[in-house]
Structure 1
Amino acid sequence: MAGYRLPEPAGNALNRRRAISFKFNGDDLSGFAGDTLASALLANGERLIGRSFKYHRPRGIVSCGVEEPTGLFDIGDRAARVANTRATDVALTEGMVARTGNAWPSVRFDVGAINSLFASVLTAGFYYKTFMWPDWRLFEPMIRKMAGLGFAGDGPDPDRYDELSLRAEVLVVGAGLAGLEAAVAAAEQGAQVLLVESDTWMGGWAATVAAGSGKDGADMRRTVASLIERASKAGVTIRMGTTVFGLYDHGLAVAVENGSRVVRERTIKIRAGRTILATGAFDRPMLFPDNDRPGVMFAHGAERYAAHYGVAVGKRVVVASSCQAGLDLVTRLRGWGVNVVSVLDFRKGDYVVGVRGRTEVTGVTFVSQGDPKHRNIEADTLLHTGGLTPNVSLHSQAGGGLRWDDEASMFVPSRLAQGVGVVGACAGVFDLGDALEHARQVGLGRIVDAPVGGAGHIPAVNSPPKELLAGSSGKTFVDLQNDVCETDVALAARENYRSVEHLKRYTTTGMATDQGKTSNVNALVTMGRLTSRTPNQVGTTKFRPPYKPVTLGAIVAGRGGERYRPLKRMPAHAFHQSRGALFEEFGGWLRPAAYPKGDESLEAAAEREAAHTRNSVSLFEGSPLGKIEVYGPDAAAFLDLMYVGNISTIAVGNARYGLMLNENGIVVDDGIVARLGPEHFWVNTTSGGAERAALAFEEWLQCEFVDMHVFVQPVVSQWGNVTVAGPKAWKLLEAAGFGAELSPAAMKHMTMREVDYAGVRMRVMRASFSGELGYEINVPALHTQALMERLWRAGGAFGLDVGMYGIEALMLMRLEKGFLHVGADTDGTTLPQDVGMARGLDKKAANFVGRRSMLRAAGQDPSRMQLVGLVPTDKRTRLPVGAHIVPHRPPSPIEGFVTSSGFSPALRHPVALAMLTRGTQRIGERLRIYHLDTEIEAEVVKTPFFDPAGERLHG
């Protein structure tokens, strides 16, 4: 490592007293605290660090920032592994494990490099033309295996993430000199200012210069220190290591902050009155053959490595530049001790026409103006800069415009987005005095035009003249990450993909993790040259968030699993757990799917539970069932408007099934409505529709039926629900001490009673979704588990074989009865008449939500799909849910599809429900059902499949 480390004072970001060990491709290496992975690799002399995406060409570190296109690694191991991480953007940590992702079996011997031999046919758009015949599916496995540059973690992410929300009157993005000046100006006039910076130091490019010796370094140190001190005194809040990756409407900026040992990353949502962008500029690459060799780097990045990380990127360095800024840094590099052996000035006719070496640079080939003879320079590094590209990503995300500046040869901001200012290099202002004055004016809230320029003349085309490339056979890359060459852009032009968006997608330039930060301008200029258009006429592609790749963990801010969608637990959760419940999520609730015994499968357990319920008695917790109490003098009239059936005619103590529609007449929920008093109703909805139904009630009351006196109160969490079902249900309740008023003889089906039991007021309803004698006991939630335990003990004491059943058994029993399950047997097109629920429509004179839509021509079409029963003719094959009903082997017009299916324990054969065109008219017909090229024959039958007379409801 010592051979590439520069002595102090170089490396002002390092703590050289703290060494850090890490692994790279299995090798043990070391760096210092403050290093990035990229600087540590360069310090260890690692030149070949990866392979390119398409051709698998050798690649090395190119830049020193977020714009890095090739230094991508898998960081971490196993579940903690993060793919495609930029080595320039990750701090070195003790024990870090980094691997090259796009090379096998190793980065030095990569089998994929064979692709280079077929480069002439692997041109832009080859995939669109090649993999279509005879069937693209034949190629899919191979393409999927080759896709990507790394491998994601293979388990739950062990890291922690966090989220923070902030407000600021002024948000300044970037703590370079212009950003500091704007922040200070705003803060000194009393504004609350938040300044965010992605680096670990302030000052930006100026801090790099300030780290050097000589008068320039000393002057810049004073300037940077003065601004930082003024910012501190003015009360500017500063967050380092924080990158704004998205700028949205209404002053919303979203950033990701590098975390600590406790939190890996923190997502910060910032609401700002004004946003000032001071995001700097990138090196614009020069274009020349073999410009992708390991050791070919951006010049300003090499200066940052020297100043902040104490790394000499090479031992014999050639600098090629087409602008004065590139030549100015040569003196600074030499001041750090970097051995610059030659300087090539593009403006004076010095052209790089080749790079020698394969896995690392061994020499540079160039020609001079008027002398076409190729000459060679022995070197291990080539630094180049073809000018600067303002970092306008966030400005464009916010809706700002761009224009091409001919003199500076760059796109610069033109039309500003509302509430967004742009200062410094990202505004195209490179003269220090002009930049600071402009930033001060913007910081004070004055809208002023940026004095673009100051960088000196930069040629629009940074590639050698074609006539001087004779004898040069290397490829010239425009986009290093996606292996897009100048010839690919030329092919796109010849094939008339001249629109900038078509160019991007046809060649894939600018579509990688760097989002074209260093490739887009050269691609656009090249396309303009090939089509006789100016870059302004070619235009730019849309800049979209995120500005840099962001981990999914940071985006969700740790809201994974139950933190993303918190699962609700039923009041008697522990009771089910103690009886071996297999829990699954249903409608946001953690509920028992079944209670398997031994190695019993879920399906077998559900069939056993359903059979036991039909023969004896079982308990089921239905606490998630939607429960809404509706009060008021207009409650009955309001519920008439909400449901298809008549609710106002329900007598006190009775209940009725109801179907709820939306304004389009579509079935959205169902349930039982009971009347507890003249102005008091107990409304049950589906478990998944509880919140939706309550919100719909409120919306209609607040927006349409504003004169109605109705109070709606959801009470799902206040009331538990214990369902007792089976022919011996009443025997169990009687054994547990419930009064005779609940006996089947005294309490009819679809009635509700309020009773006192064990000192607790309960609401008991005779209802059944299983088709058996059933009691739904609504009990205050805190007493739910005690009631279930009491019923369980009572059954055992009286010799009753009490069982438990879960959701899967309930679904089997309701399927046997042909009961509708909203959401499974319905979709966004289902009307009441499609599921046989419009029979009472003629009896209801009052209007209700969705009635008019039901009567539209489409709703009255006799060929609509209708819900019917199906039985496979062989009585053995279970019909897959979603399987299509068609008149003949596909391709064929669809006549219907299976909505629910299962094996009936009561009937000992499979049954199913389906939506079928003219279904009720086709009873007895045999159909062909197809699923994954398998044909199944089934017969259309009437429902219910089991107990069609409904006698079992009465015990």
Structure 2
Amino acid sequence: MTSFRIGRQGEPAPAKTIRFSFDGKDVTGLEGDTIASALLANDIAIVGRSFKYHRPRGVWGAGVEEPNAIVDIDMPSAVRNARATTTPALDGMVVRSVNAHPTAATDRHAFLDRFARFIPSAFYYKTFMWPDWHWFEPNIRKMAGLGILDPTAISVERADQVNEECDLLVIGGGPAGLFAARTASEKGKKVIICDDGFHFGGSLLHRQANIDGGDGPAWIAATLNVLRDRGVQLLARTTAFGLYDHGLVALNEIRPGKASSRLWRVRPTNVLLATGAIERPLPFANNDLPGVMSAEAGLSYLRRHGIAVGRRVVLATNNGVGVETSRELADAGIEVTLVDYRSGRRLMVAEGSKRVAGVKLSDGTRVAADAVLVSGGFTPTLHLFGQAKGKLRWDDDLLTFVAGDPVPRLSAGGAAAGSFGLTGVFESTARALASFGLTPRAMPKIVGRDTDYGIVAAWPEPNMSGRVWIDLQHDVTTKDIELAARENFVSVEHLKRYTTLGMATDQGKTSNLNGLALMAQLTEKAIPEVGTTTYRPPFTPVPFTSLAGVTSGSLMNPPRRLVLENEHFAAGANLREYGGWLRPAWYGAEPEATAINREVRQARDSVALFDASPLGKIEVLGPQAAEFMDFVYYNTMSTLKAGRCRYGFMLSESGIVYDDGVLVRLEENRFIVSCSSSHVPGVYALLEEWRQDRFDRKRLFIHNTTADTATLTVSGPKSRALLEAVGLGIDLGDKNLPHMATAWGSFGDDTVRISRVSFTGDRSYEISIRADRAKHLWKTLRRRGEAFNATLLGLEALMVLRAEKGFIVIGKDSDGMTRPMDLGASAPLAKKTAEFIGKRSLFTEEAQRPDRNQLVGLEVVDGTQPFAIGSHGVESTPAGKRSLGYVTSSYFSATLNRPIALGLIERGAARHGEEIDVQHLGQIRRARLVPPCVFDPSGDRLNG
């Protein structure tokens, strides 16, 4: 191969010269070059090494079909496994080949090819099982893969994400796509057209044509002007890589001068596939040598970049498009020897070591050549059609698969529909548009000779001499497919996985059909009987930054913020995320443990102020509200009186505890579900699901008012005195407002709801007020609280206070197996007669096992350090240690001046007083099982 630049004949050639490095070698190109075209212009034949055998490989194609020219880019930004054929060459770029050490030209692993006969497809399944796969795994994994990931490389520019909709999305900007966009836009339709190339035009950028009295570039320019005037959105360098459920099409746009891509999520009414077709290789020995290239690519490099891929070129073809290509190359002054399979002659072997030196033909003739261009026919690019669950149909005249039965709102035109001449391109596109109710006003007029496809079969055959490559990217030969057939891997999906044919980034673009054709002959079937593999997105690799967009870090799952966040900051709060909310963990500049202990002691001795606004406040209203509450709660709730509260569990259908909390009954037909802060969305969804499934939606209504209302908690022995000093317009005495009661009061001009519920075990009041009025109430509580030695209470101290009382946190002191009986709540199961969610599951053998893990307290027997959360209770058995459960919560209690813990331990409720071993990271400690509540078990302080 002797490639060189002869001057551009298609696109204008800017004078600016660019320089970059490839494998440490200086490369000179012109602005507008791809990496591949610049390498060809500098006569760099070996651009990479094959995946398994490390054979030298050169540029094969000119677009996304390229299987060989995969490169890593280190500057100006780190990009891995980029296709050199679709990546623009930039000044100062640092490029290196993949799967080559140290360079593609001097790869030290090239010796592997000498052992090819011993390492056919799936050899690793048979070779490395004895004596132990793990002996070989590290080195195999080290050699696997293509590009080398740099863990220190950080993308500094995040990708944009755009949501859009349109009447027609045209995928492909060649003649078919441009014609379709023009037709739809003239009907007043909103149109988006995308193309993965640098410029719109497709094959007209490198093939001669006369349309409507002008050449191809003139027709392209005129059509684009019309589309711009009509407001059509033109997206160049944009690949439609996936077609998903509900008509969503995902596009990846590479933006000039930007380090990141842009992700488009488009929901079109109709989609036209004008995606073209991919030229297939021809099978002959050594058909992977550098210098063997797609004929279409050879013409593209000549017309678009002014590069001749060789001085003496052999062009082998089995179709009329390839013959036309040979004429265009010859007209440009390239010496071309045509081998037309339709006349009987065929290629048998490419000769040369590291690049093409000549070919041998079927009639014994040897032809000296420095490049071999091949055209084995065209395969319509129907990956997106397959992703839309479209089925392919075999066409005996075209010798390829085409789109089968129509898919609603999706159609193909041009080469994607099997039309390889310009007249057929426009006619098939018109038919596709007609399926959407769009008829062009006039058809483009083609002047001159049109292409006659006229293809003959040139499939790989069994027992071909030499090494005939089917999949260039994965080193799959005809012999590998024959081996798969002998070992009965004849299903196309088995063949794909056994041989790696058409896997990874290639997705079968150049290899699939030749592989299927050979398997058909080996199994004595027709090609369509063998079937096709499943096309899956993405069509081409998509940068992770594009998929992530800006939704990373806090933007991926933004924490919810308290309306009083600024007040907490001003008070010295240290904020952490709890259940999706950014909340105070503790207050003050002192060490965390010191601050938590101080807050715990003050809360027990005087009074604590706590922002409980994230607690769920979901209102349930209507004549069926009480019946609904009985159904969604494990406990009976319909007997609750107005103005009273009751603690209860919600279960999943499998009887697992989903959430707990206090239910407030304001009126006969009005309840407030106070659920865990982190479970509000889930509980709301659960309530709404069962309302729609089982109840009358005209007699039951649900409103999530969590964000509308702030809840401020005042807890401790002096809580009543503090609230009386504040003045809430209500008698706070035990007779008027006993524990687990609720009433309406006032603060200034605002109505407030006051509930006597406690998560600390002390007398507590929850005051609910309009969120936008909470600031004044909070400041008043703080100012009045100074006289009572009030403390601000962070969530860490609250966790200690609740653990001292044995109060649980769902998801922390329960797991995916915990049922309410495991937490000591067995009475409702025995007494409740009404149906409720999960009831049936509580009577299963599993739910009734006597050896289930149950909630207990764990007292430290040895030492003064708390147990590690997650430590396992263990017992010794003849087979070794066995887990008895684990520690769920563990703290140092400043109230008791000792460690406390909760856990789920096997048969724990019946084993109070028993000592067990507790193991963590190999260390064994001793614990005594005790009741969960270790502070004020009589509950006297609730009314203190």
In the superposition, the TM-score normalised over structure 1's length comes to 0.85
Change over 3 Å in CA distance of 1:22–1:604 after alignment to 2: farther
Tell whether 2:559 aligns with 1:567.
Answer: yes
Q: Which residue of 1 aligns with 2:819?
A: 831
Q: Which residue of 1 aligns with 2:322?
A: 326
Q: How does 1:300-379 map to 2 (within 5 A)?
A: 300-315=296-311, 317-337=313-333, 339-340=334-335, 342-346=337-341, 348-358=344-354, 361=355, 363-371=356-364, 375=366, 377=368, 379=370
SS at match of 1:16: coil
Which is worse superposed, 547-556 or 93-102? 93-102
SS at match of 1:712: strand
Q: Could you tell me which of 479, 483, 495 is aligned with 2:487?
A: 495
1:686 CA displacement: 0.7
1:502 CA displacement: 0.6
Q: Could you tell me which of 650, 657, 672 is aligned with 2:647?
A: 657
Cα distance in structure 2, aligned partners of 1:537 and 1:313: 39
Cα distance in structure 2, aligned partners of 1:749 and 1:773: 8
Contact map agreement 2:317 2:374 (CA 8 A) in 1: yes
Q: Which residue of 1 aligns with 2:444?
A: none
Cα distance in structure 2, aligned partners of 1:565 and 1:722: 26
SS at match of 1:210: coil
Contact map agreement 1:460 1:525 (CA 8 A) in 2: no
Change over 3 Å in CA distance of 1:365–1:814 after alignment to 2: farther
Match of 1:299, as an amino acid? A
Deviation track 1:620-656 (CA, whole Å, cap 9, x = no partner) reads 3222111123445554444333323343444444322
Tell whether 2:499 aligns with 1:513.
Answer: no
Q: Which residue of 2 aligns with 1:722?
A: 712
1:565 CA displacement: 2.4
Q: Could you tell me which of 278, 282, 297 is aligned with 1:282?
A: 278
Deviation track 1:221-241 (CA, whole Å, cap 9, x = no partner) reads 576667667767888654433
Q: Which residue of 2 aligns with 1:88?
A: 85
SS at match of 2:803: helix
Change over 3 Å in CA distance of 1:881–1:680 after alignment to 2: same
SS at match of 1:244: strand
Cα distance in structure 2, aligned partners of 1:950 and 1:135: 62
Contact map agreement 1:288 1:463 (CA 8 A) in 2: no
Contact map agreement 2:460 2:518 (CA 8 A) in 1: no
Contact map agreement 1:405 1:411 (CA 8 A) in 2: yes
Match of 2:676, as an amino acid? T
1:128 CA displacement: 3.0
Contact map agreement 2:359 2:369 (CA 8 A) in 1: no
SS at match of 2:505: coil
SS at match of 1:644: coil
Cα distance in structure 1, aligned partners of 2:837 and 2:392: 51
Q: Which residue of 1 aligns with 2:441?
A: none
SS at match of 2:713: strand
Cα distance in structure 2, aligned partners of 1:595 and 1:116: 67
Contact map agreement 1:834 1:864 (CA 8 A) in 2: yes
Deviation track 1:816-867 (CA, whole Å, cap 9, x = no partner) reads 4332222233345443223222324455454444445434555444454433
Cα distance in structure 1, aligned partners of 2:571 and 2:402: 69
Which is worse superposed, 61-70 or 481-490? 481-490
Residue segments in structure 2 that go unaligned for 5+ positions in a row = 439-450
Q: Which residue of 2 aligns with 1:820?
A: 808
Tell whether 2:119 aligns with 1:129.
Answer: no
Cα distance in structure 1, aligned partners of 2:60 and 2:197: 18
Q: Which residue of 2 aligns with 1:396?
A: 386
SS at match of 1:944: coil
Q: How does 1:582-593 map to 2 (within 5 A)?
A: 582-593=574-585
Change over 3 Å in CA distance of 1:689–1:533 after alignment to 2: same
1:284 CA displacement: 0.6
Match of 2:867, as an amino acid? R
**Equivalent pairs, count:** 928
Q: Could you tell me which of 935, 949, 953 is aligned with 2:938?
A: 949
Q: Which residue of 2 aligns with 1:472?
A: none
1:687 CA displacement: 0.8
SS at match of 2:206: helix
Q: How does 1:393-432 map to 2 (within 5 A)?
A: 393-432=383-422
Tell whether 2:793 aligns with 1:800.
Answer: no
Change over 3 Å in CA distance of 1:82–1:262 after alignment to 2: closer
SS at match of 1:717: helix
SS at match of 1:172: strand
Contact map agreement 2:330 2:336 (CA 8 A) in 1: no
1:392 CA displacement: 1.9
Cα distance in structure 1, aligned partners of 2:412 and 2:822: 59
Which is worse superposed, 493-502 or 877-886? 877-886
Identity of aligned residues (%): 40
Cα distance in structure 2, aligned partners of 1:447 and 1:38: 42
Cα distance in structure 2, aligned partners of 1:573 and 1:222: 62
1:513 CA displacement: 1.0
1:551 CA displacement: 2.2
Contact map agreement 1:184 1:443 (CA 8 A) in 2: no
Tell whether 2:41 aligns with 1:62.
Answer: no
Deviation track 1:150-204 (CA, whole Å, cap 9, x = no partner) reads 3166466432333334444443322333334445555566665543332243332
Q: Could you tell me which of 463, 466, 469 is aligned with 1:477?
A: 469
Match of 1:258, as an amino acid? I
1:63 CA displacement: 1.2
Contact map agreement 2:462 2:482 (CA 8 A) in 1: no
1:30 CA displacement: 5.2
Which is worse superposed, 843-852 or 570-579? 843-852
Match of 1:491, as an amino acid? L
Contact map agreement 2:78 2:153 (CA 8 A) in 1: no
Q: Which residue of 2 aligns with 1:208?
A: 206
Change over 3 Å in CA distance of 1:648–1:113 after alignment to 2: same
Change over 3 Å in CA distance of 1:216–1:840 after alignment to 2: closer
Tell whether 2:672 aligns with 1:674.
Answer: no
Tell whether 2:429 aligns with 1:439.
Answer: yes
1:749 CA displacement: 3.3
In the superposition, the TM-score normalised over structure 2's length comes to 0.86
Which is worse superposed, 426-435 or 255-264? 255-264
1:931 CA displacement: 6.9
Q: Aligned-pair RMSD on alpha carbons? A: 4.1
Q: Which residue of 1 aligns with 2:842?
A: 854
Contact map agreement 1:63 1:297 (CA 8 A) in 2: yes
Which is worse superposed, 293-302 or 316-325? 316-325
1:889 CA displacement: 8.3
Contact map agreement 1:667 1:830 (CA 8 A) in 2: yes
Contact map agreement 1:185 1:444 (CA 8 A) in 2: no
Match of 1:356, as an amino acid? G
Q: Could you tell me which of 133, 158, 172 is aligned with 1:160?
A: 158
Tell whether 2:464 aligns with 1:466.
Answer: yes
Change over 3 Å in CA distance of 1:219–1:783 after alignment to 2: closer
Change over 3 Å in CA distance of 1:92–1:558 after alignment to 2: farther
Residue segments in structure 1 that go unaligned for 5+ positions in a row = 470-474
SS at match of 1:418: coil
SS at match of 1:540: coil
1:517 CA displacement: 0.5
